[in-house]
Amino acid sequence: MSFDPHYLGHRKRLKERFLRDRSGLADYELLELLLSYGLPRRDTKPLAKRLLSKFGSLKGVMLAKPHELRATSGVGQGLQTFFEVWQEYWARSQSERLQPKQVITGPEAIAEVARYRIGFAAEESFWVVLVDNKNRLLLMEEVGQGTVDQANVYPRDIIGMALEHKASGLVLLHNHPGGDPRPSSQDRDLTARIESVAGSLGLRVLDHIILAEESYFSFQSEGLI
């Protein structure tokens, strides 16, 4: 005689509760249910509680860095990939909040969208946002990646991209994985060099936004552009 693992009955009841009242599940129960799709043959309740205890919230779990996940007991390569798929899904869904031809009115909109793409990344990533002469979005694209403290970015590549897409203005955007969004001397120097080249070609540098996990720095808001 064989018996089904005890957690299968519990999981079935959990799904039934979710279908009756989505908001009725505790955070660990919701995470437990989500984990069951990545670990269908394991009791996911202990792992759900362990992850919430380590990362503090559902958001903290879903945005955890790969090396932090790997260091958590019970998380293997398969589950890490599962989380990375969710992170990519979330980043893309947030990116849809900026649509082509949408007018960019200030740094807040860009920072909020970009935070889920690069704000929690372990390495620096440099992006450029291109706009037309009415500040309508043309393109938002990555132009460089680097180590934890620098990204390989070349002003000629940024200017070339702006000219290729017939942009009138651009916003520079990158992250600081260390958690402090204040610009370094290298950030200031790079911004000045891009401003100089862009200005000679009639291009406007509207802002340089630096993201950390929960905050951002805007050159324009701070009077540096």
Statement to judge: residues 200 and 115 lie in one domain: yes
Looking at 38, 60, 93, which one is the last position of a domain?
A: 93
Distance CA 10, CA 16 (A): 10
Statement to judge: residues 79 and 121 lie in one domain: no
Q: By the 8 A CB rule, do 220 and 173 touch?
A: no
- pLDDT at residue 48 in the model: 94
Q: By the 8 A CB rule, do 128 and 172 touch?
A: yes
- pLDDT at residue 42 in the model: 85
pLDDT digits (tens, 9 = 90+) for 59-116: 888 878 777 888 888 888 888 888 888 878 877 776 666 666 777 788 888 888 788 7
200 is a domain residue: yes
Considering only CA atoms, which of 32, 3, 28, 2 is closest in space to residue 15?
32
Looking at 57, 78, 93, which one is the last position of a domain?
A: 93
Counting as low any pLDDT under 50, the low residues of the chain are 1-3
108 is a domain residue: yes
Looking at 93, 125, 157, which one is the last position of a domain?
A: 93
- pLDDT at residue 147 in the model: 65
Residue in the block written with tokens 């200017």: 159
pTM over 0.85: no
Statement to judge: residues 88 and 117 lie in one domain: no
Statement to judge: residues 79 and 125 lie in one domain: no
Statement to judge: residues 110 and 175 lie in one domain: yes
Residue 186's CATH number: 3.40.140.10
Statement to judge: residues 75 and 114 lie in one domain: no
Domain count for the chain: 2
Residue in the block written with tokens 């790079």: 190
Q: What is the DSSP string of the chain?
A: -----HHHHHHHHHHHHHHH-GGGS-HHHHHHHHHHHH-TTS--HHHHHHHHHHHSSHHHHHT--HHHHHTSTT--HHHHHHHHHHHHHHHHHHHTTS-TT-B--SHHHHHHHHIIIIIT-SS-EEEEEEE-TT-BEEEEEEEEEBSSS-B---HHHHHHHHHHTT-SEEEEEEE-TTS--SPPHHHHHHHHHHHHHHHHTT-EEEEEEEE-SS-EEETTTTT--
Statement to judge: residues 108 and 32 lie in one domain: no
Q: What is the DSSP string of 6-19?
A: HHHHHHHHHHHHHH
1 is a domain residue: no
- pLDDT at residue 134 in the model: 92
Both tokens of 143, joined, read 């132009």
